Amino acid sequence: MVLLPRIDSVYVPAGAASIIFFVAGTTCTWSSPEIPKLEDASENPFGRPITPYEISWISSLLALGAIFGPFMFGYLADKIGRKNTMLCVGVPFLVSYTLMAVGTVVEIFYLARALAGISLGGTFIVLPMYLSEIAESKNRGLISCAAGCSCCMGLLFTVCFGPYKPIGYFNAVMAMPPLIFLVLFGILGVESPIYLVKKQQSDKAELILKHLGRSPEMIKKDIIEMQAEYQVKEEPFNTLDFFTSKPLLKGIISAVGILIFQQLSGINAIMFYSEQIFREAGTKLAPTYCTMILIFVQFISSFIAPFLVDRIGRKVCLVISGVGMVLTEGTLGLFCYFKHEQYDLSDITWIPIAALTTFIVFFNVGFGPLPWIIMAEMFSNKYKSFAIGFVATVAWVASFLVTKCFDVAVTSFGMDNVFFFCALCCFLSIIFTTIYLIETKGKSLQEIQELLSK
């Protein structure tokens, strides 16, 4: 018996699924309000301030855990289905926040952050995969980008709510969103029609498509296309396919390339070290408030991409995003250079906050949400779980390395040269997008594979 929502619309299960993105967002900015409290013996449950060594582990275990999530949950997505895997992703999030709500030793926080990281890595492959498989070609970009707004809402919620509540209370409250997700998605979520066809359950797939709002003609067309693909993919996956399958190889290069450029834009390092950046830039406004402004702008600007991506296309959005990031990071580099050369910049200390907020807006137009969407669109169903797992793992390794190396790079080369390097990477991303990346707007999976074969 398949449990289905009463409203015949793809937006119901998509909305329920997107709650997990809110949870993922809260884990990414958790350190910002909580680390200062953990450093205060009167506020933390340890009875002593934590050491810099312990801080580094609490901060980095999220990214380390995220490296292992993609393959784990990618494997489960093919074995137990997309919906069940999504529910599995939510459990470690719930356990993580519960542990930190009651934990009294730092090792509990290590475990909790590692568990959150595993779910974080899983979220960024299973959710885009799920949304791309239940959506139609015409609204796939809108639905996927709208889910990104949920993530930005989670980023903002943690930073605004966290500083004003005790550690135990805050983490207990943060355990509620994953619990809400498990309940609502368990009721309103549906299984992916593609997965059901793969498991030779076409009748259930037709029922799902009907409840997703498809017309009878579209249902028939979709089922025929799904069945045709699985009829020609009886041979098991072989690692040699990486070199012999042109669509797979080009899809991996496209997805890995665009996600690595996303990290080399410096976004995660900028968000993690934003207070340090504002301090070094000499901004008059308190660095803490500057960071809150950045995240608020990130949340507001996250609503831009859903309205553009299915109108002007993925590539145009990415190019606009890249150009904006080149200009803003170049401006930041020049500001830091002139400050390092001891020019009097007292009248223009507003430039860093203006440039970084503008950078965030341009990032959210393209390179924020779209690389993960493009990743979910690039691969045939035969290779999807393994390929997405591989690509996402590479992306999280890149995220970890960029974040870890940022502070060292600033010390060794200066903040100005780091921003110039990030601007150069954004410029290279424009060339990569223009020359190599294919446009997937409004195209079916079969059409995308045909383009990748050329």
Residue 22 has pLDDT above 70, yes or no: yes
List of residues 6+ apart from 375 with CB closer than 8 A: 125, 128, 255, 258, 259, 388, 391, 392
How many Å apart are CA 328 and CA 326, to the nearest integer?
Answer: 6
- Do 312 and 413 fall into the same domain? yes
Average pLDDT over residues 44-68: 86
Secondary structure (3-state) at 214: coil
- Do 165 and 278 fall into the same domain? no
Lowest mean pLDDT among 131-135, 414-418, 440-444: 440-444
Phi, psi of 151 (to 5 degrees): -65, -45
Residue 273 has what pLDDT? 64
- Do 18 and 135 fall into the same domain? yes
- Do 280 and 413 fall into the same domain? yes
Residue 1 has what pLDDT? 40
Residue 304 in tokens: 């831009």
- Do 146 and 62 fall into the same domain? yes
Task: Classify each residue of 399-435 as buried b or exposed e, where b means 16 or more C-beta atoms within 10 Å of its C-beta.
Answer: bbebbeebeebbeeebbbbbbbbbbebbbebbebbee
User: Measured in Å, how far apart are the chain's first and last C-alpha atoms?
Assistant: 43
Residue 254 has pLDDT above 70, yes or no: yes
Average pLDDT over residues 151-162: 87
C-beta atoms surrounding 108 within 10 Å: 15
Q: 169, exposed or middle or buried, with CB in 10 Å at 0-12, 13-18, 19+?
A: exposed
Note if the pTM is more than 0.85: no
- Do 26 and 170 fall into the same domain? yes
DSSP at 192: -
Q: Is residue 306 part of a domain?
A: yes
- Do 162 and 258 fall into the same domain? no
CA neighbours closer than 13 Å in the CB half-sphere of residue 423: 19
Q: Is residue 65 part of a domain?
A: yes
pLDDT higher for 119 or 49? 119
C-beta atoms surrounding 178 within 10 Å: 28
How many Å apart are CA 344 and CA 445, to the nearest integer?
Answer: 56
- Do 377 and 245 fall into the same domain? yes
- How many domains would you assign to the chain? 2
Residue 180 has what pLDDT? 97
Q: Is residue 259 part of a domain?
A: yes
238: confidence class by pLDDT, cuts 50, 70, 90:
low
- Do 140 and 58 fall into the same domain? yes
The parent domain of residue 419 ranges over 241-453
pLDDT over 90 percentage in the chain: 33
CA nearest to 87, candidates 157, 188, 197, 156: 188
- Do 171 and 252 fall into the same domain? no
User: Per 3-state DSSP, what percentage of the chain is helix, strand, and coil (rounded to 5)?
Assistant: 80, 0, 20
- Reduced 3-state DSSP string for 221-274: HHHHHHHHHHHCCCCCCCCCHHHHCHHHHHHHHHHHHHHHHHHHCCHHHHHHCH
Residue 75 has pLDDT above 50, yes or no: yes
Q: Is residue 216 part of a domain?
A: no
**Do 69 and 91 touch, CB atoms closer than 8 A?**
no
CA nearest to 17, candidates 205, 181, 233: 181
- Do 256 and 138 fall into the same domain? no
List of residues 6+ apart from 229 with CB closer than 8 A: 380, 381, 382, 445, 446
E strands, 80-137, in order: none
Q: What element of type H or E holds 441? A: none
**Do 281 and 335 touch, CB atoms closer than 8 A?**
yes
CA nearest to 74, candidates 141, 129, 132: 129
pLDDT tens column, 83-95: 999 999 999 999 9
Q: Is residue 133 part of a domain?
A: yes
Phi, psi of 224 (to 5 degrees): -60, -45
Residue 2 has what pLDDT? 45
- Do 248 and 164 fall into the same domain? no
Q: Is residue 204 part of a domain?
A: no
Q: What element of type H or E holds 346? A: none
How many Å apart are CA 85 and CA 130, to the nearest integer?
Answer: 10
Average pLDDT over residues 117-128: 92
Q: Is residue 228 part of a domain?
A: no
- Domain of 32, CATH number, reads 1.20.1250.20
Q: Is residue 233 part of a domain?
A: no
pLDDT tens column, 310-367: 788 889 999 999 999 999 999 989 988 888 887 777 777 788 888 888 999 999 999 9
Q: For the chain, what's the residue count?
A: 454
Residue 323 has what pLDDT? 97
Residue 276 has what pLDDT? 64
